[in-house]
Amino acid sequence: MSDYLVIVESPAKAKTIERYLGKKYKVRASMGHVRDLPKSQMGVDVEKHFEPKYITIRGKGPVLKELKTAAKKAKKVFLAADPDREGEAIAWHLAHSLDIDETSDCRVVFNEITKDAIKESFKNPRKINMDLVDAQQARRILDRLVGYNISPILWKKVKKGLSAGRVQSVAVRLIIDRENEIKEFVPEEYWTIEADFMKGKENFQAAFYGMNGKKVELKNEEEVKDVLNKIKGREFNVNKVTKKERKRNPAPPFITSSLQQEAARKLNFRAKKTMMLAQQLYEGIDIGKEGTVGLITYMRTDSTRISDLAQKEASEYIVDSFGKEFIRTENRNDKKKEGAQDAHEAIRPTSTLRDPSSLKEFLSRDQLKLYKLIWERFVASQMASAIMDTMSVDLVNGDVMFRATGSKVKFPGFMKVYVEGNDDGKEEKDNFLPALEENDKALSKDIDPKQHFTQPPPRYTEARLVRTLEELGIGRPSTYAPTLDTIQRRGYVSLDNKRFVPTELGEIVLELVREFFPEIIDVEFTVNMERSLDEVEEGKARWASIIEHFYKDFEKHLEIAENEMEKVEIRDEPAGEDCEKCGHEMVFKMGRYGKFMACSNFPDCRNTKAIVKEIGVKCPSCKEGNIIERKSKKKRIFYGCDRYPECEFLSWDKPIERSCPKCDHLLVEKKLKKGVQVQCTSCDYKEEQQQ
């Protein structure tokens, strides 16, 4: 008979914790939630102050039975679910199901699964925090009231399987609003003038700045000609040289949203994949002699706080690896965003001493990539700022002024380890200028005017959308990945070149929600609701009164929608060809894996076809077929002949229309880490890399 029973959510976590606690402790997994609202009905009694009706989740009966048996044999039961609202609710549901007094010291929480953290948490058990539980219940009931009331109306009026949730509706709205901005965008012409200069034998670049020392924007070719006509000869005078030292601080350690964004930028991971890998690293990996160890702290957090112990260990590592001058000495006071929950630390390695290279043989390729990103970001955050030498030079010819800017790293500091990415994928590089002093002369070599047009705002990538939701204060760390997944599965948006594009269905549903349930897609309303849920967690508000306040207006909107929302018929877009089996028109459909063609005579004819995307290149192998874009089972794009299987030409790299000028063989676009390069498939011919 075991003295103590410990219940966690997952078997991986159970296995790791059991190693640290010893023989007196038996650790079992609940496999997540054991109770929830029923799927088959609303499960919320609106008349009785929104009282929830919880039932045992289907399939969890045997798990619960096993836990009850183990609990009866134990002297004491500890509930060790994750340290957040969701984890607190799981602990509360378990306490209810196993007849454990929720006011007893039955709850243990830890931010990392390491020996010291586990042992410390069991020295300080506490009662279940009902404020946290109530905040989770409020969110769950609120989402149920919205989803289970709006969805049936959408099923009747539009089509089956639709839903409209609080956070997902705002996310779809952002994507559609952005698409409308792009459609309505009117490009404006502007010009730049760039020039190559020489000082002695050294070359450098400068750009037109203005006239008579004042900045001038060039709007058309006439203005450019006017500037060029005012330049007399090739000689420019160095009018002003400004030298400065600039400090660059490292990014703070990761929180959930910044981890998802940076993993998308640097590793090309989707938010869902990032969270799945982070969960594995948190719950524990077998790393040889040490056994199974949690490698990172809890991955659902919006706090950048770091424990004193972790800071001390990181400092010692930095001194040993780089030297004392690389240690962070100043207190940077990383800004805590409004509404951030400060209960947890930031996401960091549980030990800085476990550098990524030491874990190479124990982690999968993707686990290692994510761990390396977390480790480097954390170590860099504890390092000294980088110091940059910057130089700005004004070059004057008559009234015309050009400006050259340069910078170089004087002291790399944290940049030795890690530099934060950006959504444009551009890296900051050293730009050296020759030694220039006031009244020096420089000669212009090439003066190159260029026409440009302003660009519309970019479509949202996953990283950009997560950042926007976070900046607006919509959702919480745990909601971003499932929200992005849901809006794609529902067919409201699709991904085109890793950017969100709204579908016709998404636009129809949003219009209906906008008309009949405006508060659901109102950003300010959603943000205020998040604040109200935070107040419940802090014990400042009652969850039932918040829901009651929301439901008064919502109920009226429901009644109006039920009576006044007109039925919408979604006509499938014609594919421009007929079905080869029955002769009816083929139409485009949206499926789980994207767009495809189907016969309009469904269900009598079930013919479907993949959409063929030609790239405008003849097959280099058979010379008859056309090259088309295809997808492998793992959704990786490749290129092949449309006469397959007669012609078996295949290429992972995209063929282009031109042939190699050197040997006349096929040229392809080769994707590299920092852009695309045109290369020959036969000889060593390469063209300059494009960003």
What positions carry a catalytic annotation? 298
Q: Please, how many CA atoms are within 13 Å of residue 387, restricted to the half-sphere of its CB?
A: 8
Cα 238 to chain centroid, rounded:
46
Q: Please, how many CA atoms are within 13 Å of residue 27, restricted to the half-sphere of its CB?
A: 20
- 62, two tokens: 């045997």
Give the residue carrying structure tokens 């089996």.
581
- 349, two tokens: 């390695």
> Peptide bond before 603: cis, by omega within 30 degrees of 0?
yes
* CA distances (Å), origin 7, targets 4, 77, 136, 438, 484: 10, 8, 20, 73, 31
C-alpha angle with apex 211: 208 to 214, nearest 5 degrees?
100
- 65, two tokens: 């039975």
* CA distances (Å), origin 658, targets 500, 626, 665, 683, 689: 31, 14, 9, 15, 17
* CA distances (Å), origin 72, targets 14, 66, 68, 199, 479: 19, 10, 6, 86, 36
Q: Please, how many CA atoms are within 13 Å of residue 272, restricted to the half-sphere of its CB?
A: 8
Given a contact cutoff of 8 angstroms between Cβ atoms, the answer to whether 297 and 347 are in contact is yes
Given a contact cutoff of 8 angstroms between Cβ atoms, the answer to whether 542 and 194 are in contact is no
* CA distances (Å), origin 357, targets 361, 369, 378, 400: 9, 11, 16, 55
* CA distances (Å), origin 422, targets 266, 427, 454, 463, 536: 9, 8, 20, 10, 36
3-class secondary-structure state, position 189: strand
Q: Please, how many CA atoms are within 13 Å of residue 302, restricted to the half-sphere of its CB?
A: 21
Given a contact cutoff of 8 angstroms between Cβ atoms, the answer to whether 689 and 672 are in contact is yes
Helix (H) or strand (E) holding 457: none
Nearest C-alpha neighbor of 468 from the set 483, 456, 454, 485: 483
SS3 string, 142-164, reads: HHHHHHHHHHHHHHHHCCCCCCC
The DSSP secondary-structure symbol of 653 reads: S
Q: How far apart are CA 211 and CA 305, in angstroms?
A: 49
Residue 2 burial (C-beta neighbours within 10 Å; 0-12, 13-18, 19+): middle
Q: How far apart are CA 203 and CA 314, in angstroms?
A: 43
Given a contact cutoff of 8 angstroms between Cβ atoms, the answer to whether 301 and 345 are in contact is yes
Calculate the CA dihedral of residues 334, 336, 340, 344 and round it to 10 degrees: 30
Q: Is 74 left (phi over 0), alpha (psi -120 to 50) or beta?
A: beta
* CA distances (Å), origin 31, targets 8, 12, 13, 106: 8, 10, 10, 19
- 546, two tokens: 């918040």
Q: What share of the chain is helix, strand, coil (3-state, %, to 5)?
A: 35, 25, 40
Q: How far apart are CA 515 and CA 158, in angstroms?
A: 15
